[in-house]
């Protein structure tokens, strides 16, 4: 599903990731871990095409990114749900609209959007907050809105960048359960985190990054 081969990315002559090679199979759930600045976010950005690799090749769901036309990028992105580290919620819109935007972009009819979004909000336990503005929510609630937006389009890949960054341990455990549920439905999940609790005893593969290098792989 995701294949990196000798991928390097520079920022102002400084390598953010160096010569990274790894693969993630379809339906797998993996973790990327390492300290801040290890290159976890850069790696995810390359997967959702926010950044281009300077060296090496990347294949996502059979799409060779080096051969991908720019006009096809939106269609590949629709297969990838992203839980952004900085949330990227639309402050001037309510929870419903924040989730619905992912379906509106896909051209879904409003009637279907209504039904589908409410279903997803129920799944993340936010149905009662559908009309609340995102800025009025707690950190954990905002995080769940972002997850709802990422999964509402039924992507084949779900990426989560530090999904438990600013939330309490109980909420974090709930979010981990949610990712497992999503993965159980067949979605490939990649979680970038420096929180050991998130992958401990999960039995999933954990890739360890440090200073842009892939320094190890273990089972969590």
Partner 1 sequence: MYLLYSFRLAFQSLWREKWINLLSVLTIAAGLFMITLTFFVVYNIDLATKRLPARFSVMLYLDDGLSEQETGSIIAQLKKNNAVEQARYIAKDKALEELKGVLKNADYILEGIDENPLPASIEIKLKKESVNIASVKKFAAEIKKIKGIAEVEYGEQFLNSIHSIKGMAKAGSLSLIIIMSAGVIFVCYSTLKIAFYRRKEEIETFKLLGATRGFIRAPFVIEGSVLGMFGGIASMAAAFAFYYVLFYKVTATIPILKILVFPLETFPALPIVGLLLGIGGAVIALGRIRFS
| Residue ranges binding partner 1 (CB under 8 A) | 48-52, 70-71, 73-75, 77-78, 82, 84, 88, 90, 101-102, 104-107, 109-110, 149, 153
Q: What is the smallest separation between the CB atom of 204 and partner 1, expressed in angstroms?
A: 25
Nearer to partner 1, 45 or 204 (CB): 45
**Cα of 184 vs its chain's centroid, Å:** 16
- Our CB check for partner 1 shows the closer of 118 and 173 to be 118
CB of 151 to partner 1, least distance (A): 12
Pick between residue 152 and residue 178 the one whose CB is nearest to partner 1.
152
Cα–Cα distance measured from residue 136 to residue 146, given in angstroms and rounded to the nearest whole number: 14
Among the listed residues 103, 104, 175, the one whose alpha carbon sits nearest the alpha carbon of residue 138: 175
**Considering beta carbons, is residue 15 or 90 the nearer one to partner 1?**
90
CB 92 to partner 1: min, Å: 8
CB 89 within 8 A of CB 134: yes
- For residue 1, give every residue at least 6 positions away whose Cβ sits within 8 Å of its Cβ, in sequence order, or none: 24, 25, 26, 27, 28, 60, 61, 156, 157, 188
Residue 70: CB minimum distance to partner 1, A: 6
Torsions phi, psi for 161 (to 5 deg): -105, 110
Pairing of strands 14-24, 2-11: antiparallel
Q: At closest approach, how far in Å is the CB of 99 from partner 1?
A: 11
Q: How far is the CB of 55 from partner 1 (least distance, A)?
A: 16
Could you say which DSSP state residue 46 is in?
Answer: H
Which residues have CB under 8 Å from 195's CB, separation 6+? 162, 164, 172
Of 149 and 204, the one with the shorter C-beta distance to partner 1 is 149
Report the C-alpha gap between 189 and 37 in whole angstroms: 22
* 157 vs 214 by CB, closer to partner 1: 157
């Amino acid at each position: 599903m995701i294949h990196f081969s000798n991928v390097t990315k520079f920022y102002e002559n400084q390598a953010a990731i160096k010569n990274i090679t790894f693969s993630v199979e379809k339906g797998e759930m993996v973790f990327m871990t390492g300290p801040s600045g290890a290159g976890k976010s850069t790696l995810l950005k390359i997967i959702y095409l926010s950044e281009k690799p300077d060296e090496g090749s990347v294949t996502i769901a059979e799409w060779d990114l080096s051969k991908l036309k720019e006009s096809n990028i939106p269609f590949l992105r629709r297969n990838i749900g992203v839980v952004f580290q900085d949330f990227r919620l639309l402050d001037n819109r309510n929870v419903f609209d924040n989730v619905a935007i992912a379906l509106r972009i896909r051209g879904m009819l409003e009637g279907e959007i209504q039904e589908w979004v409410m279903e997803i909000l129920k799944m993340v336990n936010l149905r009662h907050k559908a009309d609340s503005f995102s800025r009025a929510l707690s950190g954990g609630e905002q995080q769940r809105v972002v997850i709802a937006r990422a999964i509402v389009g039924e992507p084949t890949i779900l990426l989560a960048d530090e999904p438990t960054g600013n939330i309490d341990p109980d909420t974090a455990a709930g979010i981990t359960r949610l990712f497992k549920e999503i993965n159980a439905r067949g979605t490939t999940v990649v979680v970038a985190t420096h929180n050991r609790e998130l992958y401990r005893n999960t039995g999933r593969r954990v890739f360890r990054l440090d200073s842009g290098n892939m320094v190890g792989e273990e089972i969590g």
